[in-house]
């Protein structure tokens, strides 16, 4: 069967129109704040996108079609790259980031919810552009295509294979029987979280603009702030609200459907959720005690508060800077690094390997020990007392191996920039995990200006690949994909 070009073109047109519409709120903010140059940059970005998207939709005839997995993979990779490419226009046209490669990096960091940045002195940056950067976070958190999926059936396009290729996590769980209704439920939950956090931050004394920026950053687990020192200067109340919603957004969103149906046992009995809370509680207890014993802070309460806030930032891959962890004991910093790699739950806005994959990995190791002692035994890998299919186990194993391979390959290429091992290795891991925070020269900073432009282009690719969990992007580089697409 031939590659369905017509349906790909139509979906691309929809995505371009959605991106142009998404810039309108940022344009309004620029106009309200009398940032005329920034408003002009948004207008010059919106008009050609609207024209291009309209032409692509007009050029495709009405039809009814379902995407096969091959086209779904191509659409997802294309649209995330396209979103980063078009989202870079306001940065470049405004002159804030005049070089396109740098603007692409900033845009990719936004849509991939990585939180890395090249901007400094944020108080001097137009607030309309800061708003756009944060809004791209919010859109990328749940996924641009997840939103598009809810409207594609109206265009006669089935979207299941797009969802499979785009949704983070080893499996695509359904809340409802129709995939478009599933997408709507996810976005309704996402919006409810956003509105609730916004109101709570307002109640904590934060102004409306800052509340919006930090809401976008936390529910998307993107982590960008409009302050140069991140959230270190915020009140304890506001910092805890942000950490709480980062954790909420790192839980499998499908589980919230169980809460809506009042299936409490299904929610609290989920093994991945319990493991997620175990990692948080154990890490906070360990780091809090280490900080107290080493005298990092005088008060025990401050030790545990700092531990909780920074652990939440790393395991949710939001990447907020709550404390100067560069001065923490080495063992605490290593633990934070591993939490960043592990990440949150599947089907959430968090990045990283995901808790469920780590569980499966430990189950496989446990089974290997058992098989050594009892070679003839047949032991199934189970989670929540349910057997995991061999296909899923194989896919998870391949994902973890691919993560390690890309980490080492990316570190090898990035080492050409001449940075130390800690900086290079943590930068690549931060991109693949969509965290942004690093170690070495990146300690307590998500600013990647220290790297050369070719290196930043490589890091941009790693951000997008990490957001789409590797295979969706890397499969396009294989000859067999293009042979079957003819």
DSSP code per residue over 336-348: HHHHHHH-S-TTS
Query: Rounded mean pLDDT of 195-222?
Result: 93
Higher-confidence residue of 473 and 97: namely 97
pLDDT score of 269: 80
Question: Among the listed ranges 118-122, 284-288, 364-368, 444-448, which one has the minimum average pLDDT value?
Answer: 444-448
pLDDT score of 426: 92
In tens, the pLDDT along 317-340 reads 998 988 888 889 999 999 999 999
Most confident among 191-200, 259-268, 436-445 (mean pLDDT): 191-200
Query: Per-residue pLDDT for 169 more than 80?
Result: no
pLDDT score of 486: 59
Query: Per-residue pLDDT for 236 more than 50?
Result: yes
Q: Are 9 and 56 in contact (CB under 8 A)?
A: yes
pLDDT score of 264: 84
pLDDT score of 156: 47
pLDDT score of 175: 46
Query: Rounded mean pLDDT of 125-141?
Result: 92
Q: If pLDDT is split at 50, 70 and 90, which confidence band does 177 have? A: very low
This prediction's pTM: 0.89
Q: How far is the C-alpha of 6 from the C-alpha of 58, rounded, in Å?
A: 11
Q: If pLDDT is split at 50, 70 and 90, which confidence band does 181 have? A: low
Q: If pLDDT is split at 50, 70 and 90, which confidence band does 140 have? A: confident
Could you tell me which residues come within 8 angstroms of residue 38 by beta carbon, excluding any fewer than 6 positions away?
30, 90, 94, 126, 128, 129
Query: Per-residue pLDDT for 244 more than 80?
Result: yes
Query: Rounded mean pLDDT of 5-9?
Result: 80
Query: Per-residue pLDDT for 398 more than 80?
Result: yes
Residue positions counted in the chain: 486
The chain-wide mean pLDDT, for the chain, equals: 85
Question: Among the listed ranges 160-174, 257-271, 349-363, 435-449, which one has the minimum average pLDDT value?
Answer: 160-174
User: Tokens representing 127?
Assistant: 């607030």
Query: Rounded mean pLDDT of 443-463?
Result: 90
Query: Per-residue pLDDT for 390 more than 90?
Result: no
Share of the chain above pLDDT 90, in %: 47
Decide: residue 474, CB within 10 A, 0-12 exposed, 13-18 middle, 19+ buried.
Answer: middle
Query: Per-residue pLDDT for 143 more than 80?
Result: no
H or E element, residue 65: strand 65-66
Query: Rounded mean pLDDT of 134-152?
Result: 72
Query: Per-residue pLDDT for 343 more than 80?
Result: yes
Share of the chain above pLDDT 70, in %: 88
Most confident among 46-55, 264-273, 477-486 (mean pLDDT): 46-55
Q: Are 343 and 352 in contact (CB under 8 A)?
A: yes
Higher-confidence residue of 86 and 61: namely 86
Query: Per-residue pLDDT for 150 more than 70?
Result: no
Query: Rounded mean pLDDT of 268-294?
Result: 93
CA 466: distance to chain centroid?
8
pLDDT score of 316: 94
Question: Among the listed ranges 226-235, 246-255, 421-430, which one has the minimum average pLDDT value?
Answer: 226-235
User: Tokens representing 356?
Assistant: 């469920």
Q: If pLDDT is split at 50, 70 and 90, which confidence band does 155 have? A: very low
pLDDT score of 10: 82
Query: Rounded mean pLDDT of 53-63?
Result: 77
Q: How far is the C-alpha of 13 from the C-alpha of 54, rounded, in Å?
A: 7
Query: Per-residue pLDDT for 278 more than 90?
Result: yes
| DSSP β-ladder status, 382-383 and 386-387 | antiparallel
Q: What separation in angstroms does the CA of 341 have from each of 152, 316, 412?
A: 34, 10, 18
Q: Given phi > 0 = left and psi -120 to 50 = alpha, else beta, which region is 34?
A: left
Query: Rounded mean pLDDT of 119-124?
Result: 87
Query: Per-residue pLDDT for 170 more than 80?
Result: no
pLDDT score of 149: 56
pLDDT score of 301: 92
């Amino acid at each position: 069967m031939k590659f369905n070009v017509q349906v790909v073109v139509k979906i691309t047109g929809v995505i371009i129109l959605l991106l142009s519409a998404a810039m309108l709120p940022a344009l309004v903010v620029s106009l309200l704040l009398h940032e005329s140059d920034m408003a002009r940059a948004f207008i010059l970005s919106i008009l050609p996108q609207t024209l291009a998207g309209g032409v692509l939709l007009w050029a495709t005839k009405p039809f009814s079609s379902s995407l096969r997995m091959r086209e779904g993979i191509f659409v997802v990779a294309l649209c995330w790259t396209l979103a980063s490419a078009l989202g870079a226009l306001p940065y470049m046209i405004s002159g804030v980031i005049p070089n396109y490669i740098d603007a692409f990096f900033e845009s990719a960091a936004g849509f991939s919810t990585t939180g890395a940045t090249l901007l400094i002195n944020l108080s001097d940056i137009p607030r309309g552009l800061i708003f756009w950067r944060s809004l791209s976070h919010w859109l990328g958190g749940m996924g641009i295509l997840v939103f598009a999926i809810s409207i594609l059936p109206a265009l006669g396009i089935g979207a299941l294979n797009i969802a499979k290729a785009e949704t983070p996590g080893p499996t695509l769980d359904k809340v409802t029987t129709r995939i478009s209704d599933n997408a709507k439920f996810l976005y309704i939950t996402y919006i409810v979280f956003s509105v609730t956090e916004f109101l709570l931050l307002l109640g904590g004394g934060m102004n409306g603009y800052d509340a919006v920026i930090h809401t976008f950053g936390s529910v998307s687990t993107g982590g960008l702030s409009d302050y140069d020192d991140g959230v270190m200067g915020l009140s304890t109340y506001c910092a805890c609200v942000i950490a709480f919603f980062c954790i909420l957004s790192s839980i499998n969103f499908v589980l919230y459907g169980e809460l809506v149906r009042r299936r409490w046992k299904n929610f609290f009995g989920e093994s991945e959720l319990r493991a997620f809370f175990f990692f948080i509680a154990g890490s906070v207890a360990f780091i809090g005690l280490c900080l107290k014993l080493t005298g990092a802070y005088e008060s025990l309460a401050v030790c545990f508060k700092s531990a909780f806030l920074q652990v939440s930032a790393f395991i949710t891959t939001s990447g907020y800077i709550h404390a100067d962890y560069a001065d923490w004991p080495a063992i605490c910093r290593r633990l934070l690094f591993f939490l960043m790699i592990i990440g949150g739950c599947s089907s959430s806005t968090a990045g990283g390997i995901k808790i469920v994959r780590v569980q499966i990995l430990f189950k496989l190791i446990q089974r290997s020990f058992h098989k050594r002692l009892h070679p003839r035994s047949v032991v199934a890998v189970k989670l929540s007392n349910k057997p995991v299919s061999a296909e899923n186990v194989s896919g998870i194993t391949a994902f973890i191996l691919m993560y390690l391979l890309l980490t080492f390959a990316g570190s090898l290429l990035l080492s050409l920039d001449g940075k130390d091992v800690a900086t290079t290795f943590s930068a690549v891991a931060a991109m693949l995990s969509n965290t942004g925070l690093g170690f070495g020269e990146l300690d307590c900073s998500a600013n990647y200006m220290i790297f050369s432009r070719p290196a930043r282009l490589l890091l941009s690719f790693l951000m997008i690949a990490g957001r789409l969990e590797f295979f969706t992007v890397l499969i396009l580089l294989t000859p067999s994909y293009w042979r079957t697409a003819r």
